[in-house]
């Protein structure tokens, strides 16, 4: 049992964050067991009054196998995949390489305050298996997928449909806890056959499994999809194959018509919005107000390696900065890297906010010298996060920072 005296910011909705100054947060057996005002508390406590305390961050879209090529610039998606991404992903065929990379990656996630992530690896069983083993060893929580590509990929990365499906199913059967589970990961329509996507969709539906892929990120990609599938829209390709649904997460989804948004909305699919990546690759501006008007659930992803950082506060700031006219308030910036993502993952009974019964995945940020504590501290954290020291990262109640 541990009692921590601190100042809590708890996300509730895009418009609401609860501020609980000078409260005591109690943790037992990895769970939050009590949150009460210090004036009502009796007992011993650890002093974190110089910190603000938030739920662990959730990264909804990140490519582990691209971690070492972050910042390796190319100004457009398809040439970047060919020149930077595919040669690097090829290296994760080596289990030793994939294991060392996974160790670096999960250590860096903790240093950034990310306590749950939704991961693409490379198109090799070895890459996904290494990521799972390392996550398990390090107590990291994630959904992890082996990226699937059974057409239009370079020789060394190209899978047979059978390899992609059978290894994914094996991984899905092996890693099946709420803390660490498999997510089916057809990379995107251009590198996946209709047969592969249909099999993934059918299996995922009958096993309540999650699917992630990319959708309408870049005009050249969209033209390629049109050329291959001949459908009236990119969204229709996924819809017709059964890829959409309440356990489907679509990366980017920038260039969508209103009818496509209606389809996403009625299917219950979610979007992983990756604002940093969208401007890095000059993919375009996320249609924020239209996505909201269509009631499509969305949250933030770093999209490393097209994203340049694992720091979700940085991406929350980019969400604001990468809208020309729509302001994004701090309450929403926090929500989109915590509770929104937990809901999309159907894990909001376990994480996403600081509530009794949830996992004790908790961050403590020290207020910089010269700034004073108050309700405004969240805004200062969101816009000037580099001034705040991340002092402690609890995962299931255990401090993982520095370990």
The residues of the shown chain that bind ligand GUN, judged by CB under 6 A, are 63, 77, 81, 85, 187-188, 214, 217, 277, 303, 306
Residues 178-197 that bind Fe ion (CB under 5 A): none
How many angstroms separate the CA atoms of 69 and 178, rounded?
30
Q: From the CB of 12, what's the least distance to ligand GUN, in Å?
A: 31
How many angstroms separate the CA atoms of 127 and 314, rounded?
27
Q: From the CB of 186, what's the least distance to Fe ion, in Å?
A: 12
Strand order in the sheet with 2-13: 31-37, 16-28, 2-13, 46-55, 362-366, 389-395, 398-399
Pairing of strands 57-63, 46-55: unpaired
* Nearest alpha carbon to residue 183 among 249, 93, 235, 270: 249
How many angstroms separate the CA atoms of 53 and 394, rounded?
11
40: left (phi over 0), alpha (psi -120 to 50) or beta: alpha
Q: From the CB of 187, what's the least distance to ligand GUN, in Å?
A: 5
For ligand GUN, the closer CB: 188 or 298: 188
How many angstroms separate the CA atoms of 17 and 29, rounded?
26
The one segment of 13-21, 288-296, 302-310, 376-384 that binds Fe ion by CB under 5 A: 302-310
Q: From the CB of 277, what's the least distance to ligand GUN, in Å?
A: 5
Q: From the CB of 250, what's the least distance to Fe ion, in Å?
A: 10
The one segment of 103-111, 148-156, 161-169, 300-308 that binds Fe ion by CB under 5 A: 300-308
Distances (CA, A) of 171 to 60, 138, 146, 158: 20, 19, 9, 19
For Fe ion, the closer CB: 24 or 249: 249
3-state secondary structure 290-336: HHHHCCCCEEECCCECCECCCCHHHHHHHHHHCCCCCCCCHHHHHHC
Q: From the CB of 385, what's the least distance to ligand GUN, in Å?
A: 23
Residues, the chain, total?
403
Among 88, 126, 239, 303, binds Fe ion (CB under 5 A): 303
For Fe ion, the closer CB: 239 or 303: 303
| Residue 255 interface partner, choices ligand GUN, Fe ion, none, CB cut-off 5-8 Å depending on type | none
| Residue 125 interface partner, choices Fe ion, ligand GUN, none, CB cut-off 5-8 Å depending on type | none
For Fe ion, the closer CB: 77 or 135: 77
Q: From the CB of 356, what's the least distance to Fe ion, in Å?
A: 35
Q: What are phi and psi of 280, to 5 degrees?
A: -55, -50
- Tokens representing residue 265 in the block: 């909305």
Report if residue 359 touches Fe ion, rule: CB under 5 A: no
Among 251, 275, 330, 352, binds Fe ion (CB under 5 A): 251
Q: Give the footprint of Fe ion on this chain (CB under 5 A).
A: 251, 303
């Amino acid at each position: 049992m541990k009692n921590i005296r601190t100042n809590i910011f708890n996300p509730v909705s895009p418009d609401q964050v609860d501020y609980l100054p000078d409260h005591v947060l109690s943790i037992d057996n990895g769970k939050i067991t009590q949150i009460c005002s210090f004036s009502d508390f009796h007992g011993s406590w650890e002093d974190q009054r110089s910190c603000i305390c938030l739920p662990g961050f959730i990264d909804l879209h990140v490519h582990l196998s691209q971690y070492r090529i972050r910042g390796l610039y190319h100004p457009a998606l398809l040439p970047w995949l060919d020149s930077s991404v595919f040669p690097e992903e090829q290296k994760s065929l080596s289990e030793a390489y994939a294991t060392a990379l996974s160790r670096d990656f999960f250590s860096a996630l903790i240093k950034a305050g990310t306590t749950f992530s939704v991961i693409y690896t490379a198109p090799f069983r070895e890459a996904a298996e290494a990521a799972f083993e390392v996550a398990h060893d390090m107590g990291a929580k994630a959904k992890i997928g082996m990226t699937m590509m059974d057409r239009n990929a370079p020789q060394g990365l190209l899978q047979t449909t059978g390899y992609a499906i059978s290894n994914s199913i094996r991984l899905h059967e092996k890693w099946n806890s709420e803390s660490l589970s498999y997510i089916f990961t057809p990379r995107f329509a251009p590198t996946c056959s209709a047969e592969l996507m249909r099999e993934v969709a059918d299996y995922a539906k009958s096993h309540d499994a999650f699917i992630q892929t990319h959708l309408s990120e870049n005009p050249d990609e969209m033209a390629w999809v049109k050329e291959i599938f001949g459908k009236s829209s990119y969204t229709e390709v996924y819809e017709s194959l059964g890829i959409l649904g309440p356990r489907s997460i679509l990366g980017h989804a920038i260039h969508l018509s209103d009818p496509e948004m209606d389809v996403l909305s009625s299917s219950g699919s979610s979007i992983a919005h990756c604002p940093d990546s969208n401007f890095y690759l000059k993919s375009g501006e996320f249609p924020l107000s239209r996505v909201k008007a269509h009631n499509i659930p969305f949250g933030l992803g770093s999209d490393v390696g097209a994203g340049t950082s694992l720091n979700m506060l940085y991406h929350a700031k980019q969400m604001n900065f990468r809208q020309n006219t729509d302001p994004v308030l701090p309450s929403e910036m926090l929500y989109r890297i915590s509770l929104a993502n937990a809901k999309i993952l159907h894990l909001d009974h376990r994480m996403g906010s600081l509530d009794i019964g949830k996992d004790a995945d908790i961050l403590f940020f020290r207020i910089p010298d010269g700034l004073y504590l108050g309700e405004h501290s969240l805004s200062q954290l969101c816009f000037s996060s580099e001034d705040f020291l991340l002092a402690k990262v609890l995962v299931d109640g255990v401090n993982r920072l520095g370990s």
